[in-house]
A and B are shown apart, each in its own frame.
Chain A
Amino acid sequence: QQPVQSPQAVILREGEDAVINCSSSKALYSVHWYRQKHGEAPVFLMILLKGGEQKGHEKISASFNEKKQQSSLYLTASQLSYSGTYFCGRFTGNQFYFGTGTSLTVIP
């Protein structure tokens, strides 16, 4: 039920780019992305609906390919504040499942 994310962890230097992938074995009708900083609650970043649309939030954008049941999150010119764990998520019926998570650390 849980979407699978890759990589599990990534370390970046400030200014570098990163891609986080989310893959589902079940049909994806929409994809959510969240970021959770250490010791805090997850925070909603964006939702992508069917149609291959791409959305953006600051320098973070995402794509959604419903045929491949995949979504990718793109972090451009990373900042220290981007550090945290990123989760994708999807609905199955009325149940919302989070992905396995990707820990992202940005170092100076």
Chain B
Amino acid sequence: NAGVTQTPKFQVLKTGQSMTLQCAQDMNHEYMSWYRQDPGMGLRLIHYSVGAGITDQGEVPNGYNVSRSTTEDFPLRLLSAAPSQTSVYFCASSASNYGYTFGSGTRLTVV
């Protein structure tokens, strides 16, 4: 099925560990973004990309890195996990002037 695939769906990390959240889309969309969603905080933009090789920071980029070597993939790396990064993470993609298609999300708990 066409869409945005995120892995893993659930993850528990210890403080200080690093990990990569995977995101892949098969719709040839140029725009891809990572959001985190915390209770009562809505969706906040972490990083985004407008094409392969082009990434930039959003509202809350600290503690996260991204890269986009291909149109399809946009992984999010947590450098040194902190309890404040406990959240639900969504990857989304879109073509210009179209709506975003979201992945199913990753529920991350940092203990």
What is A's interface to B at a CB cutoff of 8 Å? 1-2, 30, 32, 34, 40-47, 49, 87, 89, 94-101
Closest residue of chain B to A97 (Cβ to Cβ) is B45
Q: Is the CB of B102 within 8 A of A98?
A: no
- Sampled A-B contacts (18; CB under 8 Å): A1-B59, A2-B42, A32-B99, A40-B104, A41-B103, A41-B104, A42-B43, A42-B100, A44-B100, A44-B101, A45-B99, A47-B99, A87-B43, A89-B100, A95-B48, A95-B56, A97-B59, A98-B42
CA distance A80 to B98 in the complex (A): 27
Docked Cα-Cα span, A87 to B43, in Å, equals: 9
Residues of A within 8 A of B100 (CB): 32, 34, 42, 44, 89, 96
Tell me the minimal C-beta distance from A93 to chain B in angstroms: 9
Say yes or no for B71: interface residue by CB 8 A criterion.
no
Q: Are A99 and B42 in contact (CB under 8 A)?
A: yes
For chain B, the bracket of interface size reads 20 to 34
Q: Does B84 contact A (CB under 8 A)?
A: no
The 6 closest A-B pairs by CB, nearest first: A44-B99, A41-B102, A98-B43, A101-B42, A94-B50, A42-B102
